[in-house]
Structure formats: structure tokens, C-alpha cells
Amino acid sequence: MSPILPTRPPKRERTPQTSREAVLFRKLFHRNRRGASEQDVRTANVIGAVSPPTQDTRAAINELSQVVRDDPEAVEIYLALGSLYRSQGEIERAIQIRNSLIVRSGLDPKLKARAFFELGRDFRRGGFLDRAEQAFNEARSIIGDNEEIHFEVARLQAERGHYRDAADSFGRLGQPLLRAHYLVRAAHDEYASGQESHGAKLLKYALRAFPGSVEAWLERIVQAYRNGSAAKMASAIVEAQALVEPGIRFVLFEGLLQEVARAERADDSGDQQHEWAEACSVADLVKVLRPKLEALEPDMLNHYYFGQMLLKNRDIDEAKDWFERALLLQPDFWLARLELFELSRSEQKLTPFFREQLTFFMDRAREVSRFYCGKCGLKRDTLFFVCPRCKSWHSIKFRTNFSQ
């Protein structure tokens, strides 16, 4: 008897309509599989990297713990063990190790200063900022004010919200990018308290320290928008295009659109006294930005973001045109394809089943994080100036295709 072979279900014939839908679907979700920042940014990233890799850290802790049990006088190994505990979030264990070293009689002053320094870092990591300051001062009293201590004190000032002091400290450390960043934070606080002239002055200092500071330019753009100065806002965008590193220029438009969205939500709330009451209208933004962007070198993300602004102004046909311009510069730019397909979906004759599946995938596509860190790959859908994971500065990138 011949064996019974499994039979395949009959192939479902594809109608011409289904074939067209599949082509549209493939185009929309096509993945591209193809595979020198400024010195100040590189320096900031080197000095900002603080956490050791966590892989095999527990094994290293176990090994070092055995070593110090065998040799209690191995002070430097104690210090290394404490740092490993800190990297694992075991702050109390790290603090205990530092304190046990500090109270030792006859400890070499340099090692004692190092123990105080690491104790300060432990306290800062644990959120005990006053104690961290005391520990750094103890280390300074023993060996003087070296660069490591100065850097930790600057970070401490920033975490306490003393942005002017932090900016001055990073300036003395030769860190113009970080100085500019904290001057912008200070300027933002001044604007929030109604001190616009002080805020504007701090922004000037920030751009003088680091002309390519994207956060400084963004703050200037946002303040011009809030004050209803559409022409000043557009001029700031054009000026920033020449100074900000090309890979992060999109932050200017993303930040502006986020501010516009906040203003729209405030308008919808019915509150007539909100902080965006004097802000530019979207129509004014479109009017002043169109000729400015036309005069600039073509840029895919500039085109995409201006298309988004046109959508807010309900200029559907022109928005399509700007999304198409973006695709001419990079045909696999998925977000521009997504917007174009969304705008033309009502014109497509789709079966109910395919419409349901397409809606599902398009909704999921809109949930994809648009930004990532160019150093460590962390993905986010919110702007960041320093990576939350690897602490790299100005490493944010736009995911122009799914493979990034």
C-alpha cells in the first residue's frame, strides 16, 4: 500500500487587486539592508563615559572578594571592588567598603583621597548630594583640586540644578559643549521665570562657547516662536543650519513641532492665559519657512518636517509634494512613504480584510521609535542631548530606515 502523502491546500489565486495591494504594501514597509564629528563632541563623550560594562561583573566581584579575603591589605583591589558594586547599583556595599578604608590607620594619603573621591561618586550615584559634596571636599583637602575632582563637582552642581555654576566649572575644564548645554539650562529657567533679557544673554554666552550647540539654537527658535516672532524664528533656523552638525539638525524641527503641539493642546484646553498665548500661528510658520527652505541645499529631513508642518496647516497637496521631495533624496525613507500612503489611502480600492491588516501594520509602524543613539544603539521616541545609556553627547540620530 502506498503511503498517504499530505496534500497541499489549493493555491489561492491572486486577483489583480490583491497583487496591486501587495506591491503597495511592500513599497511601504521596504527595508534597506545595505549596510567626523567635532573634537569637542568626542572629548565630551570620553569624559562623560562613566559606567563599566556589566557583562561578567558579578563574576569579577566574586573573584575580587576572594582576593581581599586572602589579602586584607590589598587597598587598590578594595577600591576596584567598591566600584564594581556601584556599577551594579549596590551603593550601600560600595559605601561600606570606602568607609572601611578611610578609617584605617596609616593609610597612604593618596589612597585615602582616592577612597574619599570614590565615596563621593557612590553618594552621588545614590542621590545623597550633600554627602557627595562633603566627600569630594575631603578628597580635595588631601591632594588638592585635580581634574577628576573638578569634573565630579561640576556634575554634582548640574544634578543639583546649579546650572550657571556647572557651566563655569565645565568651562574651566575645557568642555565647551557641556558649558553651552548648562548655560542653555540656566537660560531656560530664566525664561520660565519671566527674565527674558537674562535668558537671551545666557543663550548668547552658550553659542559663543559652542556655536554648534543644537540645544542653544533650539531654545532660541522656541522662544522666538512663543513670542510670535516668526521672522526671527525662521532666521534662527537658517543660521543654525550652517553651524549645527548635519546629522542632528533635525532636532531643530522636531523640537519646534513638539512646541507647536503643546501650544495646540493648550488652545484646545480653553485656557486663554496659557504660556503660548502669543505664539506664532502655524500658517505664519509655513509662510516664513517655505522660502527659507527653498533657498537651502535639499535636505531629506528638512523636507519631511516641513511636510509635517504643512499637514498641521491642512495643506495636503503641498505636504505630499514635500514628502515626495524627501523620497527623491532617499527612496527608502519609510516615514515619508508612510505619510504618502496614509494621505492616499482613501483613494485606494482595498478589500476589507486587507484594509484591516494594513491599518494594523501602519498603527504599529507609527509606534516605532524614530531616534537612536549613534554610539550604543539605544532607541527612543523623544529627543535627548546626552544618551541615557552610554552618556554620549549629541549622539542622537534619526532612523531613516527600519534596519537602524
> For 33-66, what is each residue's pLDDT tens digit?
344 345 666 656 655 544 445 556 666 656 666 6
Is 349 a member of any domain? no
Domain that holds residue 66: 39-160
Structural domain ending residue among the three candidates 108, 130, 160:
160
How far CA 194 is from CA of 43, 113, 190, in Å, comes to: 35, 44, 6
Is 270 a member of any domain? no
Tell me the range of 69-83, 278-292, 353-367 where mean pLDDT is highest: 278-292
Checking if the pLDDT of 120 tops 60, the result is: yes
C-alpha grid cell for residue 215?
A: 540645544
Is 148 a member of any domain? yes
* pLDDT, average across residues 142-152: 94
More confident residue, 363 or 373: 373
Mean pLDDT of the residues in the chain = 86
- Residues in contact with 32: Cβ distance below 8 Å, sequence separation at least 6, in sequence order: 332, 401, 403
Rounded (10°) CA dihedral 22, 327, 303, 203: 100
* b/e code 326-342 from CB counts within 10 Å (16+ = b): bbeebebbbbbbbbbbe
Share of the chain above pLDDT 70, in %: 81
C-alpha grid cell for residue 36?
A: 567626523
Share of the chain above pLDDT 90, in %: 67
**Cα(93)–Cα(85) distance, rounded to whole angstroms?**
7
More confident residue, 105 or 185: 185
Is 258 a member of any domain? no
Is 123 a member of any domain? yes
What pLDDT score does 163 carry?
Answer: 98
Q: What is the CATH classification number for the domain harbouring 132?
A: 1.25.40.10
Is 10 a member of any domain? no
Structural domain ending residue among the three candidates 135, 160, 185:
160
| Residue 274 DSSP code | S
What pLDDT score does 391 carry?
Answer: 94
State the total domains in the chain.
2
- Residues in contact with 25: Cβ distance below 8 Å, sequence separation at least 6, in sequence order: 358, 361
> pLDDT of 77-100, one tens digit each?
878 888 888 988 999 999 998 999
> pLDDT of 201-253, one tens digit each?
999 999 999 999 999 999 999 999 999 999 999 999 999 999 999 999 999 99
* pLDDT, average across residues 253-279: 90
3-class DSSP state for residue 20? helix
Structural domain ending residue among the three candidates 160, 185, 209:
160
How far CA 75 is from CA of 117, 133, 141, in Å, comes to: 14, 23, 21
Categorize the per-residue pLDDT at 401 as very low, low, confident or very high, splitting at 50, 70 and 90.
confident
Alpha helices in 210-299 (DSSP H): 214-226, 230-243, 250-268, 282-295
Is 75 a member of any domain? yes
| DSSP output for 282-317 | HHHHHHHHHHHHHHSPP-HHHHHHHHHHHHHTT-HH
Categorize the per-residue pLDDT at 367 as very low, low, confident or very high, splitting at 50, 70 and 90.
confident
More confident residue, 109 or 3: 109
Checking if the pLDDT of 13 tops 50, the result is: no
Residues 326 and 304: beta-carbon distance below 8 Å = yes
Is 68 a member of any domain? yes
